[in-house]
Amino acid sequence: MSRSALWIAALAAAAATACGPTPPDKLYSKLGCARCHGLSREGNRYGPDLSNLGTLWESDQDLVTYLRDPKAYVAGHARLEKQGKQYELMMLPVKNASDEQLESLARWLREPN
């Protein structure tokens, strides 16, 4: 690899590190959560209120598992099956986020709003 290519790779890595991870509130908007759950997690006709998830989900990891494959997770969870029938849209899997991003988002969502 040439020196210029190494320099460019080093600069790209430094820039990515300097920017740091996306804050969970920004990730919430970036992933489109606000469209169905409201800008302040208040819910709307497409998705439920997310302001008290800490009382509804036992762990961040359970919520991450749900976010990755909502349809599979809902099966066998009566509360989620019932809730899903109340809204016009089905929760779609989150595919464009890393595990670390989803863990950060889940932790943030489980905090009181």
* Token output for 48: 């439920």
Summarised one tens digit per residue, pLDDT across range 77-110 is 999 999 988 988 889 999 999 999 999 999 999 9
pLDDT exceeds cutoff 90 at 43: yes
- State the Cα–Cα distance between residues 74 and 20, nearest whole angstrom: 33
- State the Cα–Cα distance between residues 87 and 74, nearest whole angstrom: 14
What is the DSSP code (8-state) at residue 89? S
For residue 57, the tally of other CB atoms under 10 A from its CB is 16
Instruction: Name the burial class of residue 37, with classes exposed (0-12), middle (13-18) and buried (19+) by CB atoms within 10 angstroms of its CB.
Output: buried
pTM of structure: 0.79
C-alpha 41, offset from chain centre: 12
